[in-house]
């Protein structure tokens, strides 16, 4: 009898995301036991309990998913999980806290795609402004875009918070060469005039970029909004928009909405979950692999 596919799902939160559970089961994992309120100190013991109980062949049908809401903690836990492996007792691990890595990967990949089609540009040297950029999706998008060569500024209501997140992203994920900047929302009227791309990752249901500010965005080429709850975070962006002209944008910018981004996110997460299950070798997956898959998906014929 073949051993079942088991994906052990760790989260520091009180509850596991039903979205992630559904995704794992739909990707072919047969059992998805939850482990809630997991702390970093728990990871080594949990991982070694999982790997030593199934034998070298059984570990091929075993995986670990790391959720939660904190991208730094998720990456810490992934590193701890990897260090706990004892080959040939080694399983795949996928970190995607609050879906932030797959959502951010989808966001940046679709923006890159529409930049190329509308303006013939890549991300290298492009000025990107991330509204509400201190949350997990905004921070992950900042890292991905900056590592692809963009000049990224994240905005927040608090300058200290924006500066703290930018510094942490540069230091931990960019080897201090990504150059992500933090700024305050009060400076949006000046900043908007010089940006090529705006991404909204702020809390749902709040208009962050209204018509008066949009009219000042003379260089804007792509506006992407992950908010599907009315009102739109960026005025004029509809949830189904996927490269359509943005009303009120003076430079002919195109819009990308939340459902267009969400479809790519879904495909990315599914493909990585399937990769874990089908791979003959252990996989360690996070925002970098998510971006690779997102890029491949949006470039499909």
pLDDT of residue 214: 96
- Burial class for 68, CB neighbours closer than 10 Å (0-12, 13-18, 19+): buried
**pLDDT tens, position by position, 238-248:** 999 999 999 99
Kindly state the tokens that stand for 150.
């963009």
d(C-alpha 292, C-alpha 301), whole Å: 16
Average pLDDT for the chain = 95
Which residues lie closer than 8 Å to 178 by C-beta, 6 or more apart? Answer: 143, 146, 147, 152, 169, 170
In angstroms, the CA 288 to CA 89 distance is 25
Question: pLDDT band at residue 301, thresholds of 50, 70 and 90?
Answer: low
Q: Check: CATH 3.40.50.720 for 100-261?
A: yes
The reply to whether 6-95 and 100-261 are identical in fold is: yes
Tell me the per-residue pLDDT of 167-200, one tens digit each, with 9 for 90 and over: 999 999 987 778 999 999 999 999 999 999 999 9
Asked if residues 96 and 89 have their Cβ atoms less than 8 Å apart, the reply is no
pLDDT at 56: 82
The pLDDT of 61-70, averaged and rounded, is 96
Check if the beta carbon of residue 194 is closer than 8 Å to that of residue 126. no
| Model confidence pLDDT, tens digit, residues 257-296 | 999 999 999 999 999 999 999 999 999 999 999 999 999 9
- What gap in Å lies between CA 260 and CA 107, rounded to an integer? 9
| Positive/negative CA dihedral, 25, 29, 31, 32 | negative
Question: Please, which residues have CB within 8 angstroms of residue 263's CB and are 6 or more apart in sequence?
Answer: none
Q: Which CATH architecture has domain 6-95?
A: 3-Layer(aba) Sandwich (3.40)
User: pLDDT value at position 129?
Assistant: 98
- CA dist., res. 232 & res. 239, Å (int): 8
114 — pLDDT class (breaks 50, 70, 90) = very high
Q: What is the pLDDT of residue 182?
A: 94
State the average pLDDT over residues 57-68: 94
- Domain limits of the chain? 6-95, 100-261
pLDDT higher than threshold 80 for residue 134: yes
* pLDDT greater at residue 301 or residue 213: 213
Q: Residue 300's pLDDT is what?
A: 81
Q: What is the pLDDT of residue 2?
A: 80
Note whether 290 and 101 are within 8 A (CB).
Answer: yes
Taking 80 as the threshold, does the pLDDT of residue 1 lie above it?
A: no
Mean pLDDT, to the nearest integer, of 107-112?
98
């Amino acid at each position: 009898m073949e051993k079942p596919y088991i994906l052990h799902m760790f989260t520091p939160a009180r509850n596991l995301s039903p979205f992630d559970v559904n995704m794992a089961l739909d990707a072919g994992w047969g059992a998805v036991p939850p482990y809630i309120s997991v702390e970093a100190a728990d990871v080594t013991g949990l991982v070694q309990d999982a790997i030593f109980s199934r034998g070298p062949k059984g570990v091929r049908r075993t995986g670990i998913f790391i959720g939660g809401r904190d991208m730094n903690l998720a990456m810490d836990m992934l590193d701890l999980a990897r260090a706990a492996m004892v080959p040939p007792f080694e399983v795949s691990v996928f970190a995607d806290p609050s879906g932030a890595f797959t959502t951010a990967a989808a966001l940046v990949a679709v923006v890159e795609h529409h930049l190329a089609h509308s303006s013939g540009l890549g991300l290298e040297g492009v000025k990107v402004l991330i509204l509400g950029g201190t949350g997990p999706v905004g921070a992950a998008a900042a890292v991905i875009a900056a590592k692809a060569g963009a000049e990224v500024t994240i905005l927040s209501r608090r300058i200290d918070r924006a500066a703290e997140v930018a510094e942490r992203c540069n230091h931990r994920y960019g080897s201090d060469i990504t150059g992500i900047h933090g700024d305050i929302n009060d400076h949006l009227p000046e900043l908007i005039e010089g940006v090529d791309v705006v991404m909204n990752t702020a809390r749902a249901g709040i208009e962050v970029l209204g018509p008066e500010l949009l009219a000042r965005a003379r260089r804007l080429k792509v506006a992407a909004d992950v908010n599907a709850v009315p009102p739109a975070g960026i005025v004029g962006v509809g949830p189904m928009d996927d490269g359509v002209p943005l009303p009120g944008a003076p430079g002919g910018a195109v819009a990308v909405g939340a459902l267009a981004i969400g479809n790519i996110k879904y495909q990315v997460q599914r493909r990585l979950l399937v990769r874990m299950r089908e791979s003959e070798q252990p996989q360690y997956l996070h925002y970098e692999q998510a971006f690779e898959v997102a890029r491949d998906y949006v470039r499909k014929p």
